[in-house]
Chain A
Amino acid sequence: MKEEFNIISNLIKENTRVLDVGCGNGDLMKFLQENKTKDIRGLEISKEKVQNCLSKGLTVIEGNAESDLKQFPKSSFDYVILSQTLQAFLNPELVINELLKVGKKVIVTIPNFGYWRVRLQLLFKGTMPVTENLPHEWYNTPNLHMCTIKDFYNFCSTKNIKIFKSIALKKSRISEINESNLNYKNLDSHLGIFLIES
């Protein structure tokens, strides 16, 4: 968690306007507020989590990214963050498009389904993978559209989305992803972090 927050924070310029989509209990928002910018908003679907955020004085709106991002004007945020939630949407493509409209830049982090530990579970155990990062069983997972680092990388190039920076995380080891090491990073990282622009 901490590493991911640090990486995201490093991608953001100081005193910019940020929207955290699926902000949960506001941990990342708090982190960024202390380290980068005071001008940060959140969007969260769970009432309980929204109340937790508001209790901390964070500016959060209860809502659904698939329907409620529309209300923000085009390019109204310098950065829009989607941290480990893309896979939970009914229509991830639509969400990415909405994010790219609302934000000048978008930071997407994805739990990598191509990580070797995940692959091995399916290969050897023959069951849907359950890992530290993906703790749910197949029947109760909120994750509808799991993807790999490579999937997301390819998605961006097919849809003509510019990738400014792509970072792989394994435990606390940080490395850059590029065309030539993509297959390896896709196998050896548990999280991918992408800074993109339409």
Chain B
Amino acid sequence: MEKFVHLTAKACPLTQPNINTDQILPARYLKWPRSRGIGQVLFQDLRFDSEGREIADFPLNRPEWRDARIVVAGRNFGGGSSREAAVYALYDYGIACVIAPSFGDIFAQNAVKNGLLTAILPEAEIAELSDAIASAPTEAVTVDLEQQTITRGNRSYSFTVDPVSRNQLLNGWDDVDLTESRRDEITAFKADDKRKRPWATPSAP
């Protein structure tokens, strides 16, 4: 899978709380295969009106943030539905890191499987960072996963990340390969479990 080590890019503030996966990718696009260009419909109903015209004041539509690769978000970003296509939409649009006070659990799991970093900063620091970005929108932000720092100008923040996710992103580990290396343990578990929990196997109807 895709590694994430560090990234220097423009950051776009999107700080209202509870931007759920229905907002990131409305359900009517869930039947699209990823190859159809799912990044085009990222935040569709926030970025565009019902006639398909751009909503000018949506941050990602503003000229200075169209090519942002980092999103600075509010509390509970990515809550709701388990749709991994919400991560595909962000990633394929070009977003490789979201910084927020908290994330939906399933979204965060999906993100790491696709090389997208979910970095956690306290709410006060999110407010400070987004204010700073609003005052000088084009100044780049650097996210360093090894050091767990976010740097903008001479200000640096230490962010929190789940250690399992950090390991996986830094190493680009593939879960299936990791699991295959445990094949003997799985086989042993299965045999033992069949004795311990015979009721766990579905009965024939």
A and B are partners in one complex rather than unrelated chains: no
